[in-house]
Chains A and B, each alone.
Chain A
Amino acid sequence: MYGSLDVPRCSNVDATAHKSPVATFFPHCIPFSSNLSDLTLFPAPVVYMVAMCRAIPIGNLLDRASQHSDKLHSLSTMLSTMLAQDTDASYPTLSRMKMCHTSSLQTPNDKQQTLQVSEPELMSLARSLLQAWTDPLLVLSSSVNGLSHPAQSSISNQLQQMQEHSRTLEDGLNILSGRMGSPAQAIFSLPYRGGTDLGHDKITKLINFNFLLSCLRRDTHKIDSFLKVLRCRADKRQPELC
């Protein structure tokens, strides 16, 4: 199950799509050319980058990834608690029937199930979840301004941070998945269909906002858990981490 971890491939990096993703997530993978746009033009740096990426043990990469995911989840927890405070919680919670837009993804529900999932699958799940929240985060950021909440500014600030961390983590997981085999490359598409507007009135907005945040909190926790499981499995040389 864990045989294909150290696949020496960093070819999945899409240097043009993001701003220096490799440099942000994995500084060691920075090619000597700071201009990543050159990567598409000159394959030679790509080869160099591949060589550089191969040099870092995957355990370290996973460790860094799990740190990002940990931070991400902490931010989302803070957001949820922040929103729950200062507002009269008398507004009704959302109906049980409504589910997160990511609930269609089949994820393990307990420890046994989780431990039975293969690593590439775990990575795939993590990446899928992460990618599913790219758009909703944007929606949330845009909706904060219209949100009548006393902690509106701090919420907006934290949303910004979450976007940055999410982006960085996504890029890093892309690199990691390149070293974990082809099953890790699969990303499940989980589109967000909530629209850009959370609601027409304040109450509806708050309710929807709260609901989204709760979904975000769970999903980031899943991502974090998966990565930490992967971390402990990948690197046996550092038993103190696990």
Chain B
Amino acid sequence: MMKKVILLWLLVFLMLHAEGTSYSLPGKPTMITCRSPEKETFTCWWEPGSDGGLPTTYALYYRKENSEAVLECPDYHTAGENSCFFNKNNTSIWVNYNISVVATNALGRTFSDPVDIDVVYIVMPNPPENVAVAVLGDEGRPFLRVSWEPPHKADTRSGWITLIYELRIKLEEEDEWEIHPAGQQKVFNIFSLRSGGRYLVQVRCKPDHGFWSEWSSTSYAKIPGYFHQERSVWILIIVFSAFIFLIFIWLIHMNSHNLKHFILPPVPGPKIKGFDEQLLKNGKSEDIFSSLVVSDFPPTTMSNYEDLLVEYLDVYIPEEHELMLEKNKDSRDNCLKSERSTSDCDSGHGSCDSHTLLMDKCGGTKEDRWQTHQPDSQMEIDAKRQDEALTYAHEDVISPDMSSGRVKTWPSVFSPLPQYSLKPLDQPSSLEMAKQHCLSDTLFPPCSLSSCQTQPSHSTKDGLGSNYWKFNFSNKQLHQLHPNTEPQQQLQAHSDINICSASANPQQHNQRSSEYVEVQRVNEQDMVLLHPVSSGHGKRCPEMNLAENYSKVKVMGNDNVLLQLQREMTEKEVAMCTYQQDQQTSEPETITTTPQKPAACIHSALPVLDERAASGYVDTTTMFTLPTY
């Protein structure tokens, strides 16, 4: 026996020396934790320290309160390694246990720190069991119902343990859990779920005075994808609204033109024939005006100068009176109906004998003179024209006596001369253009209808007037119109006058009868009273009742002096005038008709303000003095 012991010690000694390691006492066991799952049993675990290089054994000793006996752990294996399990028989509650662990190796033993526990304070139940997750609810509103059971060891039926539950849920792709305390109930409903999502659910429990259990194993739930009923309604509404919207857009598109006119009525803008707005925008003023300037104006050659020889109309103008030529509206209309044909009226030839102021001489070829006069007039116009608002200043002179197109007063807007500057070829087109841009014929609607023999295609005599006006406008002195009275009104009056007078139909110039009136006297209103002198052509001569005659202004003096151009009247015209005159009935409006030999259509000399002279047409409503020739 002794030999065995000696051999053993020798062996140990040899082992020690052979390996060269140092052996020591075992390390102190630490971290003794005890837990009871159901308040009936409990288990203690410890953490062994270093073993000191030698095989170490551990022993747990405990001592109950009020007892001196130190007992050893009854069960080292049930709970695993480094553990001690106390079964029901060895477990007392409301009793303090003093537990310590001893590590023993060949060199000695090491005691751990003692731990005082009371079983009722170390209760940590098992996780809840049979966690079931069910998807309930109708199509649009599903919800989860989670149900579970307490751990089978915990006796909650008798009330020995009271458990409080808690569950957590999250989507599969999320990171954070959503925790829901559930109290003592074993069923829980979860709402507001995402359709088509996959959820993870876990449950845990805790005794009323104890520790939380571990989380139960994960339960999965898949929410079926459902269609929100609300969404379907919204989709219907959106589709319907889009449909209506499209229809609305289509309707607007179809009626865009009408709508545009309804909302934004087009404002007629002035348009001057030959006036290119684009050029104006481009800023090349020379190009702009070059198109308006007739190349042959001022006439460089005086070839047609003999056309300009006219009898001058002696007009006596009282100083205090303006020389106002009462125009025979008809004749004027006739004159203006066709630009070319009204050359007679423009001639201003005062073939009508009288002491009247105006001597008209309806002569000259209609068109030729018209055209020929144009350059002259043009020249005159350019020469004299500074303020082309002459005519426009007299708009107020328009008398209300207008009836049947007769102009009692001197339409101030009348300035037919500018039109003459237009190229002959352009005249019809200009008339067309003028017609297009004519202003409303509100002033002289009857005039336009009755007195004018305009063809329907050129019914708008406004064009003519507006042409005149526009020409004036464009004749390098656009701005000068503005200081004067409103050109619009002037234009209107002008155009209105011209309605009666203008004839957009170049064809009519053949029929044009130059109505010649003779200036009889000048009344108080500075009106030159004229009487038709001669009758023009057949058709147009009835219109000679209108006291519109034009005398062509030849030269304008500086002080609004009118020089009338007189044209020779062709024989034809003379005859016509005579004829007309015979036919017509004098109407003592402001015209006294005297059977006279056909006088040249008196072209009323329009007083041109500021020396502006219309080509052959002068508004005599303004003050001016006419030198007598």
Listed in ascending order, the chain A residues whose CB lies under 8 Å from chain B are: 70, 73-74, 77, 93, 96, 99, 103, 107, 109-111, 114-115, 218, 221-222, 224-225, 228-233, 240-242
Contact = CB atoms under 8 A, between A and B. Distances in A.
Interface in B120-176: 120-121, 155-160, 162
Contacts of A70: 208
A103 to B, nearest CB: 8
A242 B157 contact: yes
Given A74-B209, A109-B93, A224-B208, A229 B159 contact: yes
A221 B121 CA distance: 9
Given A115-B160, A240-B186, A242-B159, A110 B91 contact: yes
B118 A242 contact: no
B120 A114 contact: no
23 contacts: A73-B209, A74-B209, A77-B209, A96-B65, A96-B66, A99-B66, A109-B94, A110-B40, A110-B92, A110-B93, A111-B40, A111-B160, A218-B94, A221-B94, A222-B94, A224-B208, A229-B159, A230-B159, A232-B159, A233-B159, A242-B156, A242-B157, A242-B158
Interface in B82-130: 88, 91-95, 98, 116, 118, 120-121
Nearest to B119: A110
B185 interface: yes
A114 B161 CA distance: 12
B91 A228 contact: no
The 7 nearest A-B residue pairs measured at CB? A232-B159, A229-B159, A109-B92, A228-B159, A242-B159, A111-B160, A111-B40
Contacts of A96: 65-66, 98
B184 interface: yes
B42 to A, nearest CB: 12
Nearest to A109: B92
A40 B116 CA distance: 51
A218 B92 CA distance: 13
Contacts of A115: 158, 160
Nearest to A97: B66
Contacts, number: 61
Contacts of A74: 209
A242 B208 CA distance: 12
A228 B209 CA distance: 12
B158 A109 contact: no
B184 A240 contact: yes
Given A111-B39, A221-B120, A229 B94 contact: no
Contacts of B92: 109-110
B158 A221 contact: no
B209 A229 contact: no
A232 B209 contact: no
A80 to B, nearest CB: 10
Given A109-B94, A240-B185, A221 B209 contact: yes
A99 B40 CA distance: 24
B497 to A, nearest CB: 108
A242 B66 CA distance: 33
B118 A218 contact: yes
A101 B156 CA distance: 31
Contacts of B186: 240
A109 B208 CA distance: 19
Given A77-B209, A240-B185, A228 B118 contact: no
A121 to B, nearest CB: 15
Nearest to B159: A232
A232 B39 contact: no
A74 to B, nearest CB: 7
A109 B66 contact: no
Given A109-B93, A221-B121, A225-B120, 20 more contacts: A70-B208, A96-B65, A107-B94, A109-B94, A109-B95, A110-B92, A110-B93, A111-B160, A218-B94, A221-B209, A222-B94, A224-B208, A228-B159, A229-B160, A232-B157, A233-B158, A240-B185, A242-B157, A242-B159, A242-B162
